[in-house]
Amino acid sequence: MTPIKNDLFLRALLKQPVERTPVWMMRQAGRYLPEYREVRAKAGNFMQLCMNPELACEVTLQPLDRFDFDAAILFSDILTIPDAMGLGLSFAEGEGPQFANPVRTAADVAKLPVPDPEAELRYVIDAVRLIKTNLQGRVPLIGFSGSPWTLATYMVEGKSSKSFQKVKSMMFEQPQLMHQMLDKLAQSVAAYLNAQIAAGADAVMVFDTWGGMLSHDDYLEFSLRYAQQVRQLLNTTQDGRQIPTILFTKGGGLWLEAMAATGYDALGLDWQTDIGNARARVGDKVALQGNMDPITLYAQPEVIREKVGKVLHGFGQGSGHVFNLGHGILPDINPEHVKAMVDAVRELSPQYHSQA
């Protein structure tokens, strides 16, 4: 295993001393970069790009060649598992993901397989191996998956939703069927992430994009319960190294204490959560990742610098913070504004790590 030259990201997730706050960005390999758009055009469409390990590797590395990020994240999509289950994923231009075979009945749930990551999802695992080789130890590689609940929302709705009427109706009217589906998804997510770890991922992240759409009790029962099951099934020791784990629930600020008790090493924070308050609530249990409002990147560099400073000040002194946006970067952001953010983190954060 090639030693990682810049391991700030991993140390911060494990709350070990660092010289400055590490920074990366959700969706950092994506449409805001002209070089990404060129590769996507060459691939033909989004899924063909995801399913080509060489091209997925190329776009994973693109932001590292342009910015001083402290981590790479695998270029893929959260819906690869449902696609591997045979639901027929496609992306309609301007409409987002759609499934030809949504899950609506007990028979639909019963026939869902637990995909073999080295078979049905081999293209992802091959991409991890290729990216890891090409990184040559520059920075850590993050693997990821959607959470069981978030995957279930797309699988039952059949596409993106604003009301989540179909999936919530199944949850309310057939809770045991929903639990069966979520249990199968938790097994699938854990197997998928374990395969990414075995292939070289240095950290893994679970994206619970739609957990925040649930009520208090329903979040704990149908979302967090299965994110915790995933965590319990993960092999987080690889070649003598600890593999840090991150859980991100968009809209999850209400449940930080419960999330911190699930065994993940770090929690992602959306931009609506005060990072100082979050740190006070979770104490030393977990590291925190986030949480600048993505819209900030439309502002001028001096405003971006000011807002970066506020997030850093909000977290305060000591390790356990990874700087990130509170959600993914938007596609029409000026890349120079991303550089302003990264430069500001690098310049302003060392004062918060004077004991490192």
To the query of whether residue 37 is one of the catalytic residues in this protein, the response is no
28 found inside a domain: yes
Query: pLDDT band at residue 2, thresholds of 50, 70 and 90?
Result: confident
The pLDDT of residue 92 is 75
The pLDDT of residue 96 is 85
What's the token pair of residue 58? Answer: 């190329």
The pLDDT of residue 60 is 98
Query: pLDDT band at residue 355, thresholds of 50, 70 and 90?
Result: low
- Residue range 180-195: mean pLDDT, rounded: 98
- Active-site residue, selected from the candidate residues 31, 104, 138, 281: 31
To the query of whether residue 192 is one of the catalytic residues in this protein, the response is no
115 found inside a domain: yes
Q: Is the pLDDT of residue 213 over 80?
A: yes
Between the alpha carbon of residue 126 and those of residues 51, 135, 139, the distances in Å are: 10, 14, 19
What count of Cα atoms within 13 Å lies in the side-chain half-sphere of residue 161?
A: 19
- Active-site residue, selected from the candidate residues 32, 36, 154, 352: 154
Backbone angles phi, psi at 207, to 5 degrees: -95, 110
- Active-site residue, selected from the candidate residues 7, 11, 70, 77: 77
Pick the closest to residue 319 from 348, 349, 282 (CA basis). 349
- 323: domain CATH number is 3.20.20.210
To the query of whether residue 77 is one of the catalytic residues in this protein, the response is yes
175 found inside a domain: yes
The pLDDT tens digits for 58-74 are: 999 999 999 999 999 99
- Active-site residue, selected from the candidate residues 20, 27, 231, 279: 27
Averaged pLDDT score across all residues of the chain: 96
2 found inside a domain: no
1 found inside a domain: no
The pLDDT of residue 202 is 98
The pLDDT of residue 356 is 45
Q: Is the pLDDT of residue 93 over 80?
A: no
For the question of whether the overall pTM of this predicted structure is more than 0.85, the answer is yes
- Residue range 141-153: mean pLDDT, rounded: 98
Task: Determine what percent of the chain is predicted with pLDDT higher than 90.
Answer: 95
Q: By residue range, what is the domain housing residue 91?
A: 8-353
Query: pLDDT band at residue 116, thresholds of 50, 70 and 90?
Result: very high
- Residue range 278-305: mean pLDDT, rounded: 98
To the query of whether residue 11 is one of the catalytic residues in this protein, the response is no
Q: Annotated binding site for substrate: which residue ranges? A: 27-31, 77, 154, 209, 327
Q: Is the pLDDT of residue 31 over 70?
A: yes
Q: Annotated binding site: which residue ranges? A: 27-31, 77, 154, 209, 327
To the query of whether residue 31 is one of the catalytic residues in this protein, the response is yes
How many domains are there within the chain?
1
The pLDDT of residue 91 is 86
